[in-house]
């Protein structure tokens, strides 16, 4: 796990950080899933970090929240097992900084399950973010197109009820960078990291 160095305010007031890291555990590929109770789910995290990993520039956002719907029952496919219909971030900076979610609804897709640790792994897809600050604008996406095709790797632990967005394993990059004083670069890799607590807690297993 990286050591925090600071926060980037991308407005000429520069604070830097190193991206967080997490290694995957052994897990078996899963074809079907069981979810209970499912239904409407809210998720809150203490903070989210968004990093340009080439330039080691990191934005820290507090009190991020997501909401959506999780399928319920057994024999469920992992692809699109949940729909994330709302997501919001409040970001820290000396001057106004905004991180806007695009491409909603995002999709939660599950692909493997570790019975020993009771941890499911997969991705969140259809993700795109828009960043604005004085003299700086950029987008985070899988490609530079207007199609929302960003993907992040995730894990969910039954024991804790926490959904973790992992900084490695996705396809995010910075695009359409304008201004930003060299703190962000077009096509630089981007890493999003957060730990969300689900409410109500979910039991997700396979099979």
pLDDT of residue 26: 58
CA distances from 129 to 57, 116, 139, 148, 195 (A): 16, 35, 6, 9, 18
Joined together, the tokens standing for residue 149 give 């095709």
| CA 194-200-202 angle, 5° bins | 75
User: Are 87 and 64 within 8 A, CB to CB?
Assistant: yes
Q: Please tell me the pTM assigned to this model.
A: 0.86
Sketch the domain layout of the chain as residue ranges: 34-197
Q: What is the largest CA-CA distance in the chain?
A: 52
The H-or-E segment that residue 165 falls in is strand 162-166
pLDDT mean for each 10 residues of the chain (207 residues):
35 31 59 97 95 96 95 98 96 83 97 97 98 95 96 97 98 97 97 98 95
């Amino acid at each position: 796990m990286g050591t925090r160095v600071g926060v980037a305010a991308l407005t000429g007031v520069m604070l830097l950080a190193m991206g967080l890291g997490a290694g995957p555990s052994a897990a078996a590929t899963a074809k079907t899933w069981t979810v209970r109770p499912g239904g409407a789910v809210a998720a809150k995290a203490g903070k989210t970090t968004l990093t340009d990993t080439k330039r080691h520039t990191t934005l820290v956002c507090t009190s991020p929240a997501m909401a959506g719907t999780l399928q319920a029952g057994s024999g469920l496919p992992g692809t699109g097992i949940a729909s994330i219909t709302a997501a919001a971030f409040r970001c820290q900076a000396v001057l106004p900084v905004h991180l806007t979610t695009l491409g909603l609804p995002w999709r939660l897709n599950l692909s493997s399950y570790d019975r020993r640790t009771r941890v499911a792994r997969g991705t969140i897809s259809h993700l795109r973010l828009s960043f604005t600050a004085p003299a700086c604008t950029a987008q985070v996406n899988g490609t530079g197109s207007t199609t929302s095709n960003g993907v992040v790797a995730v894990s969910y632990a039954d024991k804790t009820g926490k959904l973790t967005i992992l900084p490695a394993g996705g396809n995010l990059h910075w695009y359409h960078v304008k201004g930003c004083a060299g703190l962000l670069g077009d096509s630089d890799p981007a890493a999003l990291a957060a730990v969300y607590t689900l409410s109500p807690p979910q039991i997700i297993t396979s099979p």
